[in-house]
């Protein structure tokens, strides 16, 4: 009987040790320092990141941010389909992928499996043409694609077959870096405009005839405006309309949400620091990402910037270089986040560059499942002619 009791006590001890071990496994955020706090500023609760508290540096596992990553080979069967630039802007509907790259090529429309469909509009100055694309919005439900050209007072309208429809008149002429969100059922448009000394409304809602419905005036939020703000950010990765003024220097500025019912900007996030100038803040569903300001040239494909990630719930975070897929690829170039639109994390890169990145992976450190995923990626690239460049799309929906 004593032997039996001793055996049972050992078994109980083993199970209790297993439970303790399980409890001691820390999440990614538990391993990061607290680098922010919540402050009430003029009645609004704001998350304030203190850059002086950021000491750690890690890569960010994409599993933290997205449910899963799918790999899609983009069609390159002809010159029209070929995506001739890295890190292009991507837009998604349930069944389509839209790709733009300013003036490099017309908007390209693909099916969700990567099959090329057609160009929407064309580069030029004729009817339905544009010289540079600033932003687009795709409304599959109402069979409409909206393209905002640079420095325009109108939005071009097409259907998914490429047919042209009457333009939407804008309440004001827009500058480079503006964004749009079209509510087709209401026949309304939400518009953001970069901030310059004579900007009237920073964000507004109008009808399709150009009549203003409501708007938040720039002068109510920015008192000392002496230079052009390069762009506004409204990427709609969350249910909110987020706004942040790009420019140099703009260290202690808010990322706002536009509260449509109250017609006001609500401050949500900011960064403090002694010797830091920050120029881009991106909002994800559960995190903020701050990108250090650097003056760059036209080609930023291989420029990596210093970045901070802050978890909204725990207020923990760190510096990071890039995002790491489960199969070991790391991406963190300057323009990556800026090119993602809507609820998807997405990167489009040349197959040759992806192959170069694969060579840097330490495959011996991967699990068998990770090796299988990496092999699938290699197979997708191998299907393409070695001398024939194609583009690879990595896409995953942000966790809600």
pLDDT at 370 over 60: yes
**Mean pLDDT over each residue of the chain, to the nearest integer:** 87
pLDDT score of 248 more than 70: no
Give me the sign of the Cα torsion angle 213, 265, 286, 281.
positive
What would the mean pLDDT of 293-307 be, rounded to a whole number?
66
For residue 134, say if its preceding peptide bond is cis, omega within 30 degrees of 0.
no
Maximum pairwise Cα distance, the chain: 95
Q: What is the pTM of this model?
A: 0.89
Q: Please state the rounded mean pLDDT for residues 272-296.
A: 77
Q: Mean per-residue pLDDT for 199-213?
A: 96
The neighbour count for residue 80, using CB atoms within 10 Å, is 13
Q: Evaluate the CA torsion angle 100, 101, 106, 110 in order and state its sign.
A: negative
Distance of CA 2 to CAs 5, 6, 9, 44, Å? 5, 6, 10, 66
State mean pLDDT over 392-397: 96
Task: Report the range of poorest mean pLDDT among 61-65, 201-205, 244-248, 311-315.
Answer: 244-248
Whole-number pLDDT of residue 293 = 63
Domain ranges in the chain are 39-397
The residues with which 346 forms a beta bridge, in sequence order, are 395
* Torsion angle defined by CA atoms of residues 333, 339, 340 and 341, in that order, rounded to the nearest 10 degrees: 160
Query: Average pLDDT in the 96-106 region?
Result: 96
Mean pLDDT across 142-147: 98
Question: In CATH terms, is domain 39-397 a member of 2.120.10?
Answer: yes
pLDDT over 80 at 230, yes or no: no
**pLDDT above 90 covers what percent of the chain?**
65
Of all residues in the chain, what percent carry a pLDDT higher than 70? 86
């Amino acid at each position: 009987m004593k032997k039996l009791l001793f055996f049972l006590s050992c078994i109980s001890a083993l199970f209790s040790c297993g439970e303790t071990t399980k409890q001691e496994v820390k999440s990614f955020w538990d391993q990061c320092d607290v680098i922010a706090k919540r402050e009430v500023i003029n009645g609004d609760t704001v998350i304030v990141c203190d850059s002086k508290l950021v000491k750690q540096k890690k890569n960010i596992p994409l599993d933290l941010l997205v449910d899963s990553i799918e790999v899609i080979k983009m069609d390159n069967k002809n010159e029209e389909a070929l995506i001739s630039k890295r890190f292009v802007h991507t837009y998604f509907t349930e069944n389509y992928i839209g790709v733009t790259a300013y003036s490099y090529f017309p908007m390209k429309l693909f099916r969700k499996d990567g099959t090329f469909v057609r160009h929407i509009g064309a580069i030029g100055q004729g009817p339905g043409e544009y010289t540079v694309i600033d932003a687009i919005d795709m409304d599959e439900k109402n069979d409409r694609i909206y393209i905002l050209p640079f420095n325009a007072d109108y939005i071009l309208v097409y259907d998914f077959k490429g047919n042209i429809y009457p333009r939407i008149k804008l309440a004001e002429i827009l500058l480079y870096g503006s964004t749009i969100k079209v509510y087709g059922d209401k026949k309304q448009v939400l518009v953001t405009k970069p901030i310059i000394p004579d900007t009237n409304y920073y964000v507004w809602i109008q009808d399709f005839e150009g009549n203003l419905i409501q708007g938040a005036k720039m002068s109510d939020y920015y008192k000392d405006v002496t230079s052009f703000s390069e762009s506004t950010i409204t990427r709609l990765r969350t249910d909110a309309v987020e706004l942040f003024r790009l420019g140099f220097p703009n260290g202690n500025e808010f990322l706002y949400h536009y509260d449509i019912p109250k017609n006001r900007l609500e401050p949500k996030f900011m960064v403090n620091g002694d010797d830091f100038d920050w120029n881009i803040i991106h909002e994800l569903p559960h995190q903020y990402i701050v990108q250090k300001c650097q003056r760059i040239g036209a080609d930023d494909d291989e420029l990596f910037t210093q970045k901070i990630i802050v978890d909204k719930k725990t207020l923990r975070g760190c510096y990071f270089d890039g995002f790491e897929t489960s199969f070991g690829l790391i991406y963190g170039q300057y323009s990556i986040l800026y090119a993602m639109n809507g609820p998807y994390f997405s990167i489009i890169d040349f197959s040759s560059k992806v192959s170069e990145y694969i060579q840097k992976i330490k495959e011996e450190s991967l699990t068998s499942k990770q090796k299988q995923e990496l092999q699938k990626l290699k197979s997708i690239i191998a299907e393409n002619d070695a001398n024939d460049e194609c583009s690879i799309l990595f896409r995953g929906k942000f966790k809600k």
